[in-house]
Chain A
Amino acid sequence: MIGHMTASTIPDQPDLARMRRDRHARLQKGMSDHGVDAMILIGNANVCYAGGASWPYGDSGRANIERPVAVVVSGDEHPHLYTPFREDAAAQLDLPEDHLHGPVYLDFDEGVEAFGRLLTELVPHKATVAVDDVTGAMARNRDRLFSSWPPPGVEPIIGHARLLKTPDELACTRKASKITAAAMAEVQKALVPGVRQTQLTARFLRHIFDLGAEANILDPIWQVMPDRREDLPWTTHGDVPCPLLTTERQLAAGDVLWVDTAVSYAGYHSDFGRTWIVGQDPSPRQEAQYQKWKAINDAVLAEVRPGVNAARLTAAARNLCDGESPWMPHFYLSHGIGVETAEMPFIGTDLGEEFDESIVLAPGMIIIIEPIIWDEGAGGYRSENIYSVTEDGWILVSDDYPYDPYGN
């Protein structure tokens, strides 16, 4: 499906119409393979993927109510999109008029009843209708939407489709990454003793919109890492906590920051991670942490190619750490990214070795590698980069952002 992909085949500009067609074709195949007649999609990321529209996401409180909804019917050439942003969607999409609708309100009985009537025009009675999430009102009125309870989930279809990216999807992720990197370069210039964490956020937000981001996706993280574990909060597993939230804390010379930000472009997210030091160069010991991080990153990367099972990646990382896992137990060594900041494949989670062995790398799969180095008494180091599996190895999708002040 991906065809031959090399570094040069990630286009500079994504062809959004082609991207939508490719995604729709995958969903249709998945529905046919799984015997699903229709999918109701209400989660923003799934609606973006299947419905084709993208928009600046709001806070979840508001996004839960004023949300676009997509319905994909098996055999239909186009998805149906129900959206409060109908004019924006009309300008953005090539949907036929009878597939682009006004909003539906699935948090209310009246809204679900109306939606149920619309659904009967699209799919026959007793059809197999899968769904990603179910609101309270949908659960109360389940008989209007589903022929069985619980209804089938969409994960085998849309999760599978989203796992391997088309070149246009990779181009969107790259665009989002470039916007993020350019904004972060401006933020890093402002990293001086006395600056507040929220001021770094202010600068970041200003620049991402100027640079063409659709939206900010994550409340930016500027976590100050102390030298010793005991100076961090308690955790369920005893290991290091991250990400801790941003406040108006004033940064001091020598503070080590674990930085994490994400924005969206055409619905696709970036994920930026670096370690910075406020107003100082790293000590030799801190520099060694970075070198260790880089050695692990490179060792993992050396395993990335089609056909490899993901447990080889975690093994490569552990080999350099006396068998210990150089990542946080509540996260992973690697994750994918697309219309969500963290999506499949997850590698190194608490799902365990067997789960990792079941993941086989394939072209178009995205692997973000984010080991962490904790060096008790001298803090730690973390960075992350976005890579994509190619026919014969990997390519860097995110921006080649410098590791300053490390690595010089």
Chain B
Amino acid sequence: MTPMATDVLPDEKPLRYGRRARAFTAMEEHDLDVLVLGRGANVRYVCGARGLWNAGTHGFAPVCAVVRSTRQVYLLSTWDEGIPEEIPHEHMLGITWNPMNYLTWLRDIEGSATAGRVGFDSISPLFAQLLPAAFPAAEIVDGEDAIQAARLVKTPEEVVAIRGSLSIVEQALASALSDLRPGVEERALTGVFMEAMASLGVTTPSTQDVVTITSSRDRTAPKGQEAVRAGDLVAFTAGVLDGGYAGEVARTWPVGGGDEIAKYRDAFDEWDELWSHLIQACRPGASGGDFFAAYRAANVAVPSLPIVRGVGLGYDLPIVVADLPATAAGQRVASGMTLAVTGIVDSPHGRVIAQEVVLVTDGEPEILTTSPFWTHQFQGAKRQ
């Protein structure tokens, strides 16, 4: 157990400085003098401060600016609780509703006047019109590529953080599983998961779409309100954010026993076969396309959902999804990546979905998730 966190603290120094070093390297490689960030995970990556969690996407506003020449970080924050010491009060802008205040703030940063290339991680029409004036000498370009490149490979401290987050999500998943029985509604299981997560000290989920009955039968209630029946197949796709880091896991469990669930054995066996191919692609040098090949080798149809995505502060590259074949082919797996790899098997009886988080190393890939599978009991030992 980690000690209780009773103060709002910045991320640990090695975590902050390790990430920022990667961000500055990416700025050099992408020839960016200033990087202006609005997306929460990007801001956390370079600032090391916890923000207030709000579900869903947020419209663009400049929340953080990083200057390559001075190595200084500027942050939108009205108070200094939990703000790292290397971001002094003079670098902070209080919450404001007047867009012109953002312009003045960015313009007055040391290095803005002479910046030649300034990257934004996203932009809105209003700020696209307004903010170039803060950088009179600069070409305004996309900066999301650079920050994504920085986030691609994890520092050792980040891997520790991800392990911690996985420990929370797997304990909370176990709690939800212990309440899986006929009669319980999907949303009630989601509530059990969330309650367990917060009881473990983490109040922020990465997804709130946690529980779905996936057996092939007609649904009788709106999403979330369907009650579990004996003989159902139930998928848990859970995620938490601890210290900003996503811990995610998915498992599918049948409900009941005996003959009514024996029909699912084939689909779970197919999943095991699929996994044996997928894990082979979690090696340095493999391409995103190798994960499609793993599905083909197992004779399983590639699903429409992403089958690989990076986990870190939220959602990282690489991404492997059927709709983006060229993107997948152009990405290479590298040591130090943490991948959420998803196997999905659609059988006539229902869908089996399970996801592991894998740390790519120079040797064998390390599976960081440890949640049990239904089929382990038949195998006498843990898979692999």
Contacts and interface: CB of A to CB of B under 8 A. Distances in A.
Q: Do A and B form a real pair?
A: yes
Interface of A: 42-45, 55-67, 84-85, 88, 91-92, 102-105, 107-111, 114, 130-137, 139-140, 149-153, 155, 196, 198-199, 201-203, 205-210, 212, 214-220, 233-237, 241, 243-250, 264, 329-332, 341, 346, 349-351
B54 interface: yes
A133 B128 CA distance: 10
Nearest to B325: A110
Binding site of B, secondary structure by majority: helix, strand, loop or mixed?
A: loop
A248 B201 contact: yes
B143 interface: yes
B125 A150 contact: yes
A61 B208 contact: no
Contacts of A215: 55, 208
B58 interface: yes
Contacts of B80: 233-235
Interface string B199-210: 101111111110
B208 to A, nearest CB: 4
Binding site of A, secondary structure by majority: helix, strand, loop or mixed?
A: loop
A135 B144 CA distance: 8
Interface string B311-355: 001110001010111110000000000000000000000000000
26 contacts: A58-B207, A60-B56, A60-B314, A62-B239, A62-B315, A102-B304, A104-B323, A105-B323, A105-B324, A132-B124, A133-B124, A139-B122, A150-B123, A199-B199, A206-B191, A209-B187, A214-B224, A216-B55, A217-B54, A218-B54, A219-B52, A220-B203, A248-B5, A248-B201, A349-B97, A351-B97
A80 B314 CA distance: 28
Interface string B23-57: 00000000000000001110000000010111111
Contacts of A137: 142, 144
Best-surrounded residue of B80, B125, B194 (most CB of chain A within 10 A) = B125
Contact of B8 (A92, A152, A209, A245): A245
A202 B196 CA distance: 7
Contacts of B187: 209-210, 212
Contacts of B209: 55-56, 58, 85
A63 B198 CA distance: 21
B120 interface: yes
Nearest to A47: B57
Interface in B82-113: 82, 89, 92-98, 101
Contact of A61 (B41, B94, B98, B126): B41
Contacts of B315: 61-62, 64-66
B192 interface: yes
Contacts of B40: 60-61
Contacts of A220: 203
B335 to A, nearest CB: 23
A399 B331 CA distance: 51
Contacts of B224: 56, 209, 214
Contacts of A233: 79-81
Contacts of A111: 323-324, 327
B246 interface: yes
